[in-house]
Amino acid sequence: MDLQLIKNRFGIIGNSPALNHALNVATQVANTDLSVLINGESGVGKEVFSQIIHSLSARKHNSFIAVNCGAIPEGTIDSELFGHEKGSFTGAVDSRKGYFETVNGGTIFLDEIGEMPLGTQARLLRVLETGEYIRVGSSKVQKTDVRVIAATNKDLLEYTHKGKFREDLYYRLNTVPIRVPALRDRKEDIILLFRKFATDFAERYKTSPVQLSDEAKELLVNYGWPGNVRELKNIAEQISVLSKDKNISAPQLQSFLPEHNSSRLPALSGGPGAVSQAEFANEREILYKLFFDMKKDVNELKKMFFDIIQNPSMNQHVPVYDDNIEELKSIKEISPNSSNASIVSSPTVIIRNDQNAPIHQHEDVEESLSIIDKEKELIIKALKKHRGKRRDAAMDLGISERTLYRKLKEYDIEHL
């Protein structure tokens, strides 16, 4: 059948290659009784594909039912799908037919199949392999002839590795996979879909459809659309209702787009050096803690130094350093008199080993301003304080143990 006729019949808008490929697979598998697994994000229109398959199959004159597995409580899903006998559980006052019995000869669409409990998965596998099932509370085996189309927005193969989904059921359902593309992978279709939704709304309420400027169109196309077609329809209807101006500019459109789009802007992601927002916040807290801890240290050092200057007799109590000149590490102090807590640097002081020689002058040397050095220093200090216990050190630093472990590898800090 011509794809355009199918699109017109089911209200599908778009001409992207990925969408056309998915439709081609659906039309080719429709005349068989093979199980189909439809993959795609939430809001891409997976149920429409199940309706296409059923309407083009030999079962089109029989029943079709869509069941959301994630919306049925675990304790009742077996009863909903396979039926139950009277008295089989509390509240079962009468016998009840399940969907596999009422839809016999037709098609059942199991949406969100990844949410199905493992026990129900075993029952479903038996139906797919033998066409047999047993009502809850019964011992009588019954037969059914139902075609199963499943859909999910999860990675079921990964679920099988985690023990959340039966591997044998996965391969039994995945006889013919159909991948419905996300809206952000169909950028050429976004403007067509928006125009369709805006026009439908205008016809329904006898108003003029909204129009987008070129800048607004570019903004619409480059938006991430985590909610896919469903979200695009909502945005089109919001603009049609709330906008007084029928010609929408980019700033006007931006006010309708959710802020979570910023998370889809280009960023380092997935690589070995990738840092999540939570880890970034933790590292920032390390720096804040570093500066505030140093404030106390620098005040003590300054007090000791000025006491030595004012009272030379105290020089004999200054610790003896190596024969070479010792350089005190650079220090940053947060000025207590500053309203905005600005950071000011203190000069490095050089103390010579000659205890008998009076101090006539001091020298300023350029200090290191490397945040990495300070961060490394604080991590080593925390590890020594807690005798190498990473969990305690991470808690003291205010970061996660995972972040601390990554920092140890990054800075090549040996386990203390």
Reference 318, options 345, 295, 294, 350; nearest CA is: 350
Alpha-carbon distance 215 to 388, whole Å? 56
CATH architecture for segment(s) 184-264: Orthogonal Bundle (1.10)
The confidence band for 394, taking pLDDT boundaries of 50, 70 and 90, is confident
- 142 vs 344: which has the higher pLDDT: 142
The confidence band for 404, taking pLDDT boundaries of 50, 70 and 90, is confident
Q: Give pLDDT tens digits for 342-353.
A: 344 444 444 444
- 302 vs 124: which has the higher pLDDT: 124
The confidence band for 267, taking pLDDT boundaries of 50, 70 and 90, is very low
pLDDT for residue 331 is more than 60:
no
Residue 69 corresponds to which amino acid? C
pLDDT for residue 89 is more than 50:
yes
- 410 vs 247: which has the higher pLDDT: 247
Residue ranges per structural domain of the chain: 3-181, 184-264, 277-311+326-410
Q: Stretch 61-85: mean pLDDT, rounded?
A: 93
Alpha-carbon distance 403 to 184, whole Å? 32
Q: Please report the pLDDT score of residue 386 as a whole number.
A: 84
Q: Please report the pLDDT score of residue 125 as a whole number.
A: 96
Counting DSSP H helices and E strands in the chain, the numbers are 16, 13
Cα 377 from chain centre? 33
CA dihedral (244, 247, 251, 257) positive or negative: positive
The confidence band for 326, taking pLDDT boundaries of 50, 70 and 90, is very low
Q: Say which CATH topology domain 3-181 has.
A: Rossmann fold (3.40.50)
pLDDT for residue 402 is more than 50:
yes
Q: Please report the pLDDT score of residue 380 as a whole number.
A: 87
- 5 vs 280: which has the higher pLDDT: 5
Q: Stretch 315-324: mean pLDDT, rounded?
A: 46
Q: Stretch 125-153: mean pLDDT, rounded?
A: 95
Q: Please report the pLDDT score of residue 412 as a whole number.
A: 79
pLDDT for residue 171 is more than 90:
yes
Contact 396, 385 (CB under 8 A): yes
Reference 198, options 210, 216, 215, 183; nearest CA is: 210
Calculated CA dihedral for residues 348, 352, 358, 363, nearest 10 degrees: -30
Give the helix ranges, DSSP H, for 83-155: 99-102, 118-130
At 257, is the secondary structure helix, strand, or coil?
Answer: coil
Alpha-carbon distance 173 to 294, whole Å? 62
Q: Please report the pLDDT score of residue 389 as a whole number.
A: 85
Quickly tell me which residue has 């787009």 as its tokens: 257
Q: Please report the pLDDT score of residue 328 as a whole number.
A: 40
Residue 49 is inside which H or E element, if any?
Answer: helix 46-55
At 248, is the secondary structure helix, strand, or coil?
Answer: strand
DSSP letters, 15-73, are --HHHHHHHHHHHHHTTS---EEEE--TTS-HHHHHHHHHHTSTTTTS-EEEEEGGGS-
Q: How many CB atoms lie under 10 A from the CB of residue 161? A: 10
Quickly tell me which residue has 């799908």 as its tokens: 81
Q: Give pLDDT tens digits for 269-298.
A: 444 444 444 444 455 556 656 666 666 677
- 238 vs 340: which has the higher pLDDT: 238
Q: Please report the pLDDT score of residue 263 as a whole number.
A: 43
pLDDT for residue 68 is more than 60:
yes
Beta strand pairing call for 247-248 and 343-346 = unpaired
Domains 3-181 and 184-264 fall in the same CATH topology: no
Q: How many CB atoms lie under 10 A from the CB of residue 162? A: 8
Cα radius of gyration rounded to whole Å, the chain: 34
pTM score, whole prediction? 0.61
Cα 137 from chain centre? 41
Quickly tell me which residue has 């607004």 as its tokens: 216
- 32 vs 325: which has the higher pLDDT: 32
pLDDT for residue 49 is more than 60:
yes
Alpha-carbon distance 242 to 145, whole Å? 50
Helix axes 46-55, 17-29, angle to 10 degrees: 40
Provide, rounded to the nearest whole percent, the portion of the chain with pLDDT above 90.
56
Q: Give pLDDT tens digits for 111-125.
A: 999 999 999 999 999
Q: Please report the pLDDT score of residue 378 as a whole number.
A: 85
Q: Please report the pLDDT score of residue 313 as a whole number.
A: 57
Q: Please report the pLDDT score of residue 10 as a whole number.
A: 92
Q: Stretch 318-343: mean pLDDT, rounded?
A: 43
Q: Stretch 318-332: mean pLDDT, rounded?
A: 43
Average pLDDT of every residue of the chain: 81
Q: Stretch 187-203: mean pLDDT, rounded?
A: 94
What are the structure tokens assigned to 14, written together?
Answer: 């778009």
The confidence band for 74, taking pLDDT boundaries of 50, 70 and 90, is confident
Contact 321, 409 (CB under 8 A): no
For the sheet with 64-68, list strands across it.
64-68, 107-111, 147-152, 36-39, 176-179
Q: Stretch 145-163: mean pLDDT, rounded?
A: 95
